[in-house]
Structure 1
Amino acid sequence: MKYKAAIFDMDGTILDTSADLTSALNYAFERTCHRHDFTVEDIKNFFGSGVVVAVTRALAYEAGSSRESLVAFGTKDEQIPEAVTQAEVNRVLEVFKPYYADHCQIKTGPFPGILDLIKNLRQKGVKLAVVSNKPNEAVQVLVEELFPGSFDFALGEKSGIRRKPAPDMTSECVKVLGVPRDKCVYIGDSEIDIQTARNSEMDEIAVNWGFRSVPFLQKHGATVIVDTAEKLEEAILGE
């Protein structure tokens, strides 16, 4: 067995959350008097670096920023329009967070093959975890409701610990799992996940069914990209 622990991102990796995220963001934007006609494709460009960055990207897009420029938000290269203030980001978040926590599993469900993947890995003794930039409240609800008893550890974004791609969340995970880093693999669908694995000194596997395209993942350094849950299982087990 190649890896003793598999640590998964959530949105776009094990769960298709795009419809519920779209509904919640449009609700929050409508309640705060902003445009509220974002599509699933828009949402895929906004999310991946936590909800603060996602709302910032959405407000910037509303203010005229191009889709291509949004990926830099949350990095040192960001150029956020002056029209987007932290106060307005916070105002939207005050509506978004509680609404999404209460409506995070209306249309959300596992991607094809994920339930079998999780079951097979557990049967073979692989420790399983979720480390996500999604709010921790939603992570805990979704893990409990959709994957009861399946994960040894789950952590979402919360105060007091730096979000991905900083290694803090995966470090906490490794500590709980008790598995050496060189026996852990991080699985995700975005450039943030690739950076997280590297910052955490872990191998990474990218999936092609999430929020980022294969060319985008390759451009950002993905070394292993899989297109089915079955191939992901093979990559984790080394078969």
Structure 2
Amino acid sequence: MSFPFDLILFDLDGTLIETAPEIADAVNDTLSECGRTGVSQQQVNDWIGHGTRELLIQALAFTDELSANEVRHSNSFPAIEAVFTRHYQRRCGTRSHLYPHVREALTALRGAGVKLVVMTNKEGRYTQTVLDAHQMAPLFDRVISGDTFPVKKPNPMGIAECMAQFGVTHQRCLFVGDSSIDVATARAGGIAVWAMPYGYNMGEPIEACSPDRVIADFSALTTLLNG
């Protein structure tokens, strides 16, 4: 049986790499420096998905008892975001790790000629830092971050751009993610979607999003590759 996909797009946080612990560290470093109370690991896990900037906004909204919109438009937010940038750049790679079989699967897929893309809502400067911290960047043909285009997931622009770039049809394209955002992105882009059960789906079981498949880990991709 030949491998059914020529292009696979992957979410980053909660799919390829367990990053939540160091994100929580950076958030709490920031809150502490700015004179605020820290937040829990579970809260950070549940805020992951819309980009690191939005996560920071959610943390500040919680600690300051404000709406996210009030935080987003506050005069103090740019300075706090700058503090977070410093802390997160320092924390990247310190407590994150690849999930089981990720590197092996990506290496095998790339060797078989499958085009591989990261498509994340994390801002580009953080995406690159995380990939570099784990020596992952060379495994991908393209990296799409939350600020690559004017829109981000669940808008499917990134999917369309990659299919056009690599000359791949909808039927030969797969999205692998861990959240309802990823499932919605794939559905909007008209492609298949497989989901990991171990990631950050805002506290909800991934099965509730009805992906095409839920796979335990990345070995499912190499098993399929080997027929």
Tell which deviates more after alignment, 98-107 or 190-199.
98-107
Paired residue type of 2:84: F
Instruction: Give the distance between the partners of 1:220 and 1:64, measured in 2 at CA.
Output: 30
Instruction: Give the distance between the partners of 1:124 and 1:86, measured in 2 at CA.
Output: 48
Percent identical among aligned pairs is: 23
Residue equivalent to 2:196: 207
Name the SS of the counterpart of 1:204 in structure 2: strand
Residue equivalent to 1:68: none
Name the SS of the counterpart of 1:134 in structure 2: coil
Q: Aligned-pair distance for 1:215?
A: 5.7
Number of residue pairs the alignment of both structures matches: 223
Q: Aligned-pair distance for 1:137?
A: 1.2
**Cα 1:170–1:94 shift into 2, 3 Å:** farther
Tell which deviates more after alignment, 165-174 or 116-125.
165-174
1:121 aligns with 2:123: no
Q: Can you list the C-alpha shifts for 1:123-157, whole angstroms capped at 9, x where unaligned? A: 22211110111111121233344214211111212
Instruction: Give the distance between the partners of 2:172 and 2:95, measured in 1 at CA.
Output: 34
Name the SS of the counterpart of 1:149 in structure 2: helix
Instruction: Give the distance between the partners of 2:148 and 2:86, measured in 1 at CA.
Output: 16
Instruction: Give the distance between the partners of 2:78 and 2:203, measured in 1 at CA.
Output: 33
**Cα 1:16–1:81 shift into 2, 3 Å:** closer
**Cα 1:183–1:169 shift into 2, 3 Å:** same
1:231 aligns with 2:220: yes
Does structure 1 conserve the Cα–Cα contact (< 8 Å) formed by 2:196 and 2:206?
no
| TM-score, normalization by structure 2 | 0.86
Unaligned 5+ runs, structure 2? none
**Cα 1:21–1:45 shift into 2, 3 Å:** same
Does structure 2 conserve the Cα–Cα contact (< 8 Å) formed by 1:3 and 1:183?
yes
CA RMSD, Structure 1 to Structure 2 (Å): 2.5
Pick the aligned partner of 2:150 from 140, 148, 161: 161
Instruction: Give the distance between the partners of 1:215 and 1:156, measured in 2 at CA.
Output: 24
Does structure 2 conserve the Cα–Cα contact (< 8 Å) formed by 1:7 and 1:130?
yes
